Amino acid sequence: MFGYSTKLRTMTKGKGEYVMEFARYAPLGGDIQQQVIKQWKETQEVDEKGGDKKKKK
């Protein structure tokens, strides 16, 4: 959605509008779910030791 509002305004000469709203939660696949849990646990361990949170992408 990054840049969408700019493109929309350009195409509609400043008159276009849009709304983005939450639709639903959906379960993750097993592999992705385990990866997210692992990364979350790693950040919790760092927090307990008094360090900065790790930022992983």
Nearest to 57 by CA among 36, 41, 37: 36
C-alpha distances out from residue 32 to 4, 23, 35, 37, 45, Å: 28, 21, 5, 9, 20
C-alpha distances out from residue 51 to 23, 38, 40, 44, 46, Å: 36, 18, 15, 10, 5
- Coil, helix or strand for 34? helix
Q: Taking the domains of the chain in order of start, what are their residue ranges?
A: 4-48
Q: What is the DSSP letter of 17?
A: -
Question: pLDDT value at position 54?
Answer: 53
Between 26 and 54, the higher pLDDT residue: 26
Span 11-49, pLDDT tens digits = 999 999 888 899 999 998 889 999 999 999 999 887 666
